[in-house]
Structure 1
C-alpha cells in the first residue's frame, strides 16, 4: 500500500482487487516473493508491507520499498578479463540488469550468433542476464569494438539499449618493409636513401639497419631513415628491423651493387651503348655517301679495260693511233690512282 495515498494496492485476501502484483511462495514459512507484472511508470512510488491477522495489524512504516519505473532499457555492461596481448586468450562478458526474471532481456553482440544466455542472482538478491565469449587475441582485434545489445520485452513495445567496449591489443611489429629511393644497381658516388616502416602496438620505438656479411648480420645504423654514399665498401645486402615492447620483426633484404656487378644492363650502360651505336651508324653513313660519290665519277663498268699489252699493228686508219693512246692514258690514270 502507498503511504501517500492510504489505500490497498495489493491484498492477498482480496484476489478481485485489480493489481499488477501477486505474491508467490509460502508466507507462513517466511519464503515468499512479491511479483509485479505489466508494470509502467505510474507504479513509481513508495511501498509498505502490512500484515493483518484478526486482531493483529501492523504496517512497517520504517522499512519501505522505493520503486522507480523507467520507460527505457537498462544499458548493459561489457567487461574483459585477461591480458590484452596477442596470442593470449581473454574472456569477454556482457550482462544486463534483469528486474523481471520470468521475462529477461535478450542479449546479442557482434562476437557470435545466438550466444547462450545465463540468468544469475547477484549477492544483493537482484537478477542479471549475461553472455560470455572466449577470444584468442591477435593484431586483427586491435581497435575492434565489442558491441553488446539488450532488448527488453514489454506490452508497449520492446526497449533496446547497447554498450561498446573498444579493444586495445598489444602486438609485435607487423608488415615491416624497406623502401629504397633509387635503383638497386648504383653508380659509385651515388647517394642512397633507405627508409623502414612497420605497424605495431605500442608503436615501434626503435629502427635498426643491418648489413649481411660473412660473419652474419652487422648493425650499421639506428633510425628510421638510413642515408649514405654508395661505393665498393658499402655494397651488399641490407635489411631493417623494427622493435617495440612486445617483440621485433625484420624486413626482407635488398642487395645494393654496382651496375657492372648486375647481371642486367644498368641505365648508364644503356646510354653508353646507344652513344657508340649512334657514332658507328654515322661513320657508316659517311662511308656509304663517299663510296656512292666515287661510283658516280669512276664506275668500274665504265672504265674497265683488259690487261695492258703491246698493241697489234694497226691498219693505217686515220685517228687509230690517237684512240690507242687515249685508252692507255686512261689505264695509266687508273693505275696511278
Structure 2
C-alpha cells in the first residue's frame, strides 16, 4: 500500500511540491520524502535491497506527471542508470557491465528493472529517469534504490530444540535450503529450520543453488563435535601468483588421518569416489605445501598458479569413531590471466596513441603493483595498472604482476600478416562448394571485412565474416578478392586472390553481318559467341556438315554466292562440355540468270493452233516476266507462260522474254515460224520434184564426167556452187534461228525473206527467217554474185528480197531493265526506311 501526503499548502514559497510517501510491504515499512519537479514525481517500491551473488533481483517504481483533458502530458523516454558520463546518464541497457543481464519494462506508469546473475560489482544506487520534452524537463527522483550484493552470509542459530538457518540479507520465501550433518548432506531436509539435532554432531546449512557459500558448522547443544571452518569461501588469483587456503578444524576423538583434496581431481575406485591427497598429485609437484603450525589450523599453499588450478579445495580428517565428511563445499579458487585492455585510442597516419590498462577479473589484483613490457623489454614505469604511449603496427604490449614477471599477460598488438586460404585449391568448377578463409594473428581479436572487384569496377565491401562460404559457386562469383583484418590497434590487408570459375559453354549465340538482306558477291561474316571458361572452340555447320572451327568463332565469305544459301549453326565446346546454338538462315539474293525460252509445240507451228511460250530464270527473290515482240516497245504479256490462241501469220517473228527482280534483269529471244496447211502440201510435192531432179542431175553429171569435157565440167561446177550457196545460206539462217543466238552477238542489220504464192488471193505460207547481209569485197566476186542472182531469179521467180534496218533489241531491253531496277530499288528502300 502507498500513501502520498502533500505539504505544498504549508509553504507556498517553495518552487516545487514536497511529498511524504509511506510505503507499506509485508514486513517492511519505508517512509520516503520526495520532491516533485514540474509536476513529475517518482515513487520507489524499496529504497534498499540486499541480494545474493548469482541471484536475480527486481527494482520497481511508479511515476506520476500532470495531465489535463485539454493538455495531456506524455513521457518520451524512461530508463534506469547508475553512472553519469559527460553530464549524461548512462542507460543500463547500453552499459557493457550489464550486457545481457538487464531488462527494463514499463506497464502504464509502473516500471521494473530486472538484473540477473548478480555480482558484487553490481552493488550501487539505481535511479530512474524520466524525459519529457513536452514538460521541458529531465527528471530523476531521489533517493533511488540502494542495491547491496553479497554472499548469503548464512549462520545456524540454535533455538531450544531446533536449528534455524539465518541470513543478514533478507531472503525471499521461495528459497530452498540444504542441511549437512558432520559434513554429509541430509536430502530430506529442505526448510530453513531443522528439529531434532543430535549431540556431538555438527550442522551446516546452505541455500539451494548457492551451495558454494554454506554457513560455518555449529555443534549441537554446545558440545564438542567434528567440524571444519574455512577462512574464505572463494579466492580469485592471477596466473603466476601464489595462494594460501586456510581452515580450522575440531575433532571429537583422536585424528587418524587428514588431507587436502579437490573433488574435481578425485578418482574412482570400484563403486566409490575416493579423494586423492593433493600432496601426492604430480601436477602440484614443487608447487604445493601444507602447513600445520598450530593445533586445529592448516594451510594449503600453491605457487605459480595457472588456469588448470582453478578448482574447489576441501579439507577432511578421520578419527577413531567418525570424522568430517566431504559433502560441504570448501574454498573455490579461480585463476585468471591478466588482460591488457585498450581504454582510449587516437589513430594517426603512421602511428597510434593509446591508453592501456592491465586488468584482472580478480578484485585482489587491482591492489597489486604491475610491470609493463614493450616488444619483450620491460619498461621503466611506475607500478600503475594503466599505460599511455605511442605505438606502431609492429609493437606488442603486455603486463605482469610485480614479482611474477614470468607470468605476463597475453600481448596486445595490431593484426600481423593477413592471408586468404582458398579451399579447394586449384581449378574451381561451377556449382562446387568453395570456402575462402581470412586469417591473421591479432590481439584483441580482429574483425574481418571482405572486398570484391568485378571487372573494371572498384573494390566493394560485401561481407564482415571471417569466412566466405559458397555452397554452390556460380560464374557470377568470379572476381578478385581480398580481406582486411582490423582491431583497436591497427589494420592489415591480405593479398589478392583471383577466383576463376570454370564451366561448360553457355548460351551460344550466332550473328551475321550485314544485318539486312545479303547480296550475291558481297562480303559476309558469321560470328559465334558463347560464355565458356576456358574459352570454347567453335565449329560452324551448314545443313549438318562442318565448315571450320576455331576459338574466334568467325566464318568469312569474301564474296558470297547463291549456293552458300542455307541453314547454319554453331557448336561451342571445351573440356567441360558442349552446346549447340540456334539455327541461322542465310538467304543470298541475286539478279535473274539468263532466261531459257521455249515453245510448245516446238516443231511446226500450224496456223490456227494454240502455242505456249515459256520463260524460266533462276533468281532470288523470284523473277517477274514480261514478254515483248522485237519490233514493238510495248509489252504484250506478263508471266512465265505466254499463250497465243488461234495463231496466225501475223504472229510470226522474234519474241523477247525479260526476267527481272529488284536486283536486276536478263532477257532471251525466241523465233516463231507459222506454217499454213496448203503450203505444206505444195511444199511436199515440190520437195518430191526437186528430189527427182537432183537424182537425174546426178546421173547426168556422172555421165558427163566420164566424157571428160572441160567446158561441161566448169558449167557443172558453177551450177553446183550455186546450189551449195543457196543451201548453206538457208542452213545458216535456220541454224541461227533454231539455236537462239544471244542478242548481243546479232548485228543490227537483218534480211527478211518473205515468200508469197503466185495466187495472191490464196497465201500459202509466211516464212520469216534471219540472214546475215554479205557484202561483196571485190569486182570478181561481185560479178559472180550477180550471175548467181540471175540464175536464182530464173529458178525462183516468186522470191523477193527486202533489206530492213532494225534498231538493236538488246539496247532497248537494257534501258528498260535499268529503269525497272531503279524503280524497284527506290520502292524497296522506301519500304525498309
Aligned to 1:199: 618
Retained in 2: the 8 A contact 1:139–1:171?
A: yes
Q: CA deviation at 1:76?
A: 1.8
Q: Which residue of 2 aligns with 1:153?
A: 575
Structure 1 counterpart SS, 2:527: strand
1:159 CA displacement: 2.9
Normalising by the residue count of structure 2, what TM-score does the alignment of the two structures yield? 0.23
Equivalent residue, structure 2, for 1:219:
635
> What secondary structure does 1:57 align onto?
strand
Partners of 1:81 and 1:179 lie apart in 2 by: 40
Within 5 Å, give how 1:119-138 maps onto structure 2.
130-138=553-561
Question: Match for residue 788 of structure 2?
Answer: none
Whole-angstrom distance in 1 between the partners of 2:557 and 2:641: 41
SS in 1 for 2:611: strand
Q: 2:593 aligns with which of 171, 174, 179?
A: 174
TM-superposed deviation, 1:151: 0.9
* C-alpha contact (below 8 Å) 2:521/2:560 kept by paired residues: yes
Greater RCO (CA < 8 Å, at least 6 residues apart): 1
Task: Kindly indicate whether residue 538 of structure 2 is the aligned counterpart of residue 87 of structure 1.
Answer: no
Q: 1:57-98: CA deviations, max 9, x gaps?
A: 224446999843798632321111125112211222112223
1:75 pairs with 2:75: no
Aligned partner of 1:309 in structure 2 is none
- Normalising by structure 1, what TM-score? 0.52
Which residue of the partner structure matches residue 424 of structure 2? 19
RMSD, matched Cα: 4.0
Residues 277-296 of structure 1: CA deviation (Å, up to 9, x unaligned): 9xxxxxxxxxxxxxxxxxxx
- Give the match's secondary structure for 1:201: coil
SS in 2 for 1:109: strand
**In terms of Rg, which structure is larger?**
2
| Residue 171 (structure 1) shift | 1.6
Q: CA deviation at 1:56?
A: 4.3
| 1:108 maps onto 2:539 in alignment | yes
SS across alignment from 2:563: helix
- Structure 1 pair 38–58 and aligned structure 2 pair: CA distance change class (3 A): closer
Distance in 1 separating the partners of 2:674 and 2:555 = 61
Q: What's the secondary structure of 1:140's corresponding residue?
A: helix
**Per-residue displacement from partner, 1:181-230 (whole Å, max 9, x unpaired)?**
213422222222223233322222x31112223xx876322233222232
* Corresponding residue for residue 319 of structure 1: none
Given that residues 190 and 230 in structure 1 are in contact (C-alpha distance below 8 angstroms), is that contact kept between their aligned partners in structure 2? yes
Number of equivalences: 219
Q: Paired residue for 2:530, among 74, 96, 100? A: 96
Once residues 254 and 226 of structure 1 are traced to their aligned partners in structure 2, the CA distance between those partners, rounded to angstroms, is 12
Alignment gaps of 5+ in structure 1: 1-10, 22-36, 119-129, 261-265, 278-337
What is the Cα deviation at residue 20 of structure 1? Answer: 4.2
2:431 counterpart residue number: 41
CA distance in 2, matches of 1:88, 1:49: 58
**Cα distance in 1 between the residues matched to 2:571 and 2:681:** 68
Matched, 1:247 2:664: yes
- In the TM superposition, 1:272-311 aligns within 5 A as none
Tell me, in whole angstroms, the C-alpha distance in 1 between the residues paired with 2:657 and 2:607. 23
Pairwise mapping of residues 310-325 of structure 1 onto structure 2 (< 5 A)? none
Higher strand share: 2
Residues 1:170 and 1:18: Cα distance change in structure 2 (over 3 Å): same
Mapped partners of 2:423, 2:621: distance in 1: 63
Measured in 1, the distance between the counterparts of 2:520 and 2:424 equals: 56
8 Å CA contact 2:420–2:436 kept in 1: the answer is no
Taking structure 1 as reference, are residues 270 and 67 closer, same or farther at Cα in structure 2, changes over 3 Å only?
farther
Deviation at 1:50, TM superposition (A): 5.9
Counterpart CA distance in 1 for 2:682 and 2:425 is 95
| Offset from partner CA, 1:131-172 (integer Å, 9 cap, x none) | 342442222223x12222111213xxx434344311022221
Match of 1:24 in 2: none
- Is contact 1:212–1:238 with CA below 8 Å preserved after alignment? yes
Partner of 1:57: 448
